[in-house]
Chain A
Amino acid sequence: MAFDQLSDRLQMALRRVRGKARLTENDIDEMMREIRLSLLEADVNFKVVKNFTKEIKEKAKGDKIMKGLNPSQQVVKVVHEELKELLGGETSVFALDKSKRTTIMLCGLQGSGKTTTAGKLAKYLRKQESIKPLLVALDVYRPAAVDQLVTLGKQLDVDVFEKGIDEKPETIAKESLEYADEHGHDVVIFDTAGRLHIDETLMDELRSIKQTLSPDEIFLVLDAMTGQDAVSVAEHFHESLAITGSIITKLDGDTRGGAALSLRKVTDVPIKFMGLGEKLDAFEVFHPERMASRILGMGDVLTLIDKVSENVDEDDMMNMMEKMMSGKFNYNDYLKQLKMIKRMGSLKGIMKLVPGAGKMMKNANVDDKKLVYIETLINGMTNQERKNPDLIKKNSSRRRRIAKGSGRSVAEVNRLIQTLDQQAQAVKKMGSMDPKQLDPNNPLKGMQDMQQPSGKQKKGKGKGKGKGGFRF
């Protein structure tokens, strides 16, 4: 996830003070230097960084920490709180006023991902608010931009209003509202052409579109990989249009995404959503609190819970757990489990949300294809074999047949058998475990044991050591 590398550096800085009973002035200075470099490497605007480190330093030097019982934890807390503040404090809930039609205008630089975001936003709002969205193509400049939106509309089964590229965007915008009224669309999303924030002619055009529409929302779409210039971009767009919010895209990359941190600070408008991939459902509400936790490597359990509850039927889940606990876990159940996981999105994405897993997964190669292979293997089994795992375990010609039939190797069949075994055992252990004995610092312990035999995950290489290497 985006902020992983930033959290590495911060963690390294904080490791120095971890366990110390008392911080010296020197410790704090040292730490601030690391935090400063870390944030600069993360593309956070240098002015923002300056204020950030200054504030933390003051707090860290305050009596509270110097004389506190566990200073390192206090510092983590202060950094976390400040980061959260920097990202906007509270989650900005985007609620539609359903008593009337809502108009949303997207704007931004070229290539920031406006068109894709328009599609994602339409899909998201339709799912969350059960409304009927309309997409409007106002990018009459970029070749085939209209095509792109029309194609997205088809994929999503959402109406797209377009007038080709011969009319002025203002005119198209106006007509689209009439169309929306006639066809009962309650949300209209306008995809404008990308433009440089210093291009006065095109910025004028945006202002004039704004005047025509007086949209309820104007969102600035910003690429998470943007460098120091993010501030200048945001300032210009905000000055010209008075944006009401922003959307950060491409956060599924390995960028540290510091642009998000500065953007909020400079414009003082909330970051509403984030884009996390090319798939049209890779789109989430932006949570400052959770993002701050991610930065500090604390994982993001809340998002995981959201994902699970959104995509998994509770009854299914309970049945599964019961089965697992009773030790009667067979291949049919395993298949069901795989499907549940798949519904939640990519495995790698999910693992990132588990506290502690971010680190573990850093060098691990999680391949979603593996899940497909396992599915193929299970599909190659007879009904009897699926219900009774022992049949395969005790008969090598069955194993050979399954391997051959699914185009995988016998070794993979063996590994699958092992995985099923280990999983059943791990769950049994979990069931009989005293909750007090669970290691609060490592909630993943059980999971790690569970997953190792599958050969899917190697532990992150050199955990804690040689981490300095990420500075390229």
Chain B
Amino acid sequence: MGFIKNLFQSKKRREKAQKYKIGMEKTRQNVFNQLNELLKSGEKIDEDLFEEIEEIFIMADIGVDTVLKLVNHLRQTVEVKNLHDAEDLKEIIVEEMFKRYVQEEIIDTNLNVEDELNVLLFVGVNGVGKTTTIGKVAHLLKNEGKKVMMVAGDTFRAGAINQLKVWSERVGCEFFSKPEGSDPSSVMFDAIHYAKENDIDVLLCDTAGRLQNKQNLMKELEKIHRVIGREIEGAPQETLLVLDATTGQNGLSQAKIFNEVTNLSGVVLTKLDGTAKGGIALAIKETIGIPVKLIGLGEKLADLEYFDIEEYIYGLFSDVI
């Protein structure tokens, strides 16, 4: 078990990982206890076992393709290493998941916030928690000493502007909006000019939720993205796809199409405090290469964490290893 133990040897690590563990308590209980149950010492490795492992991963909403590959790899490893005891699989599963996610890259989950004016654009389908996430990110950045302004780019949904405004009051940061029904690109344009004159460090731009198969709405988003890039070179510094952890396989389609339109820099995985596992994020990283940057673990301002794959896996497997 050396590999995983090494990962978590430092005390600080362990403490931080503990937070994940609590946040994802339900997730763990639901899925990975079964894995623990399954991979008991003395159990035989056979086709039935592989099928059950497959189902456990499917239940965590990890993409079907990703699961099939993972399990195939397990089969091969078992053959090559000539393993017979199910318990030996634990380490291999964890290691393989880790490798698949990281893919020999260095993954930086820090938000790319520089000294000049930064724009963070939040996109996603309806009801994933974009506005709430902006509230939390504002809180986080404000605590880091940044001058933050929220931009109400959802001019479509009833009550959306007010919802963001309430968050800005809670956080105690600046807020920019135009009347409901305004062209969202013009909101961004005006907000950027206001921010330049008022020494704002970071703009957090909300957008209306849109299903990725709505062409006109995706074109609108493309325009928003383009306008921001035209006004500030290199902006938006971050374009974050907000993804509900309860989302199933459709998460892949969301990541793919939103990425085509806005060139995503990361994913924010929300509502991870429920029983959902958000496993689709692993498939997104594997197939599209977009990493998770932040996770939402509740409705309070402070319920936001930087994503750490090691801790995530540890959170899932802490009973296993």
Contact = CB atoms under 8 A, between A and B. Distances in A.
A52 to B, nearest CB: 14
Interface in A232-275: 232-233, 250, 252-256, 258-259
22 contacts: A42-B249, A43-B61, A109-B271, A111-B127, A111-B244, A143-B162, A144-B161, A144-B166, A145-B163, A151-B158, A198-B26, A198-B275, A223-B246, A225-B247, A227-B247, A227-B251, A227-B280, A229-B277, A250-B211, A254-B213, A369-B216, A472-B287
Tell me the dominant secondary structure on chain A's binding face.
Answer: loop
Interface residues of B, number: 52
Contacts of B216: 369
Closest 4 CB pairs of A and B: A227-B248, A111-B127, A148-B159, A143-B166
Contacts of A258: 248
Contact of A113 (B126, B253, B274): B126
B35 to A, nearest CB: 14
B215 interface: yes
B108 to A, nearest CB: 25
A96 interface: no
A40 interface: yes
Nearest to A228: B59
A472 B65 contact: yes
B248 A147 contact: no
Nearest to A143: B166
A302 interface: no
B205 interface: no
Given A143-B131, A256-B249, 9 more contacts: A37-B64, A43-B61, A43-B249, A111-B271, A145-B163, A147-B158, A147-B159, A227-B61, A258-B248
Contacts of A250: 125-127, 211
A229 B276 contact: yes
A7 interface: no
A144 B160 contact: yes
A295 B213 CA distance: 18
Given A253-B212, A258-B248, A472-B256, A41 B158 contact: no
Name, among B131, B158, B244, B246, the residue most crowded by chain A CB atoms within 10 Å (CB to CB): B246
The interface size bin for chain A is 35 or more
A270 B252 CA distance: 29
Interface of A: 37, 40-43, 46, 109-113, 141-152, 155, 196-198, 223, 225-230, 232-233, 250, 252-256, 258-259, 278, 365, 367, 369, 471-472
B100 to A, nearest CB: 16
A252 B216 CA distance: 14
Contacts of B250: 43, 225, 253-256
A45 B55 CA distance: 10
A144 B159 contact: yes
Given A227-B247, A232-B275, A41 B166 contact: no
A229 B276 CA distance: 5
B230 interface: no
Contacts of B280: 227
B295 to A, nearest CB: 15
A469 to B, nearest CB: 12
